[in-house]
A and B are shown apart, each in its own frame.
Chain A
């Protein structure tokens, strides 16, 4: 009975952390947009990820993260890559995203039709020999 209670508590804890991460990012982006530091408003949301990018810890529902850039114009491919690069080059953040059950990172422009996606597993530098 206890292990079931613990697993339920763990599940709730994980969900709370996932939503907190998304909330933190959205708050930070809106604050910088209001302050005039950022030219475009970024919005992070949880979506269903790509099934081909799945890993052992990815969630069944909501395994994708989408960054939507709300700019006045449609962004070019290079601009989308630049936005994603910041997230993907931050190894700590990528590992945290993987541990919280995400496997796909999508970057869309304001139109929402054109976007790029990356598998997080590739950028976490997971694997190799353990260091004793």
Chain B
């Protein structure tokens, strides 16, 4: 009995068990890894481009310029949205396209 436990077969099986369990935990840790949704390119762009874009949008689409416009409420909402996201370049570009679309529709 004693010889059976310390036989090379058991030793071999024990090592196989250790290695497979280690691989299993490695894979599990990889699966759980948090995938980042923060794009660094956007942040760097925001640092350098937001100020100029925000200033130009502020001048272009100020609510006072569209006081008698057909879609003035919609434009006001967009302006407020722009004020809220003034430090995010990506959302500012999206808002700019929305501004252009609403002004196109009103023509």
Contact = CB atoms under 8 A, between A and B. Distances in A.
Contact of B38 (A37, A83, A90): A90
Q: DSSP majority for the A interface? A: helix
B81 to A, nearest CB: 15
Contact of A32 (B22, B36, B44, B51): B44
Sorted nearest first, the 3 A-B pairs with minimum C-beta distance are A28-B40, A24-B40, A89-B87
A37 B49 contact: yes
B48 A37 contact: yes
Interface string B37-49: 1101101111111
7 contacts: A6-B29, A13-B33, A25-B40, A32-B44, A32-B45, A37-B48, A96-B38
A130 B49 CA distance: 36
A116 interface: no
Q: How large is the interface on A (under 10, 10 to 19, 20 to 34, 35 or more residues)?
A: 20 to 34
Contacts, number: 65
Contacts of A6: 25, 29
Contacts of B13: none
A38 B38 contact: no
Interface in A1-40: 2, 5-6, 9-10, 13, 17, 20-21, 24-25, 27-29, 31-32, 37-39
B34 interface: yes
A87 interface: yes
A122 interface: no
B47 A83 contact: yes
Given A2-B25, A9-B25, A90-B88, A38 B48 contact: yes
A42 interface: yes
B13 to A, nearest CB: 18
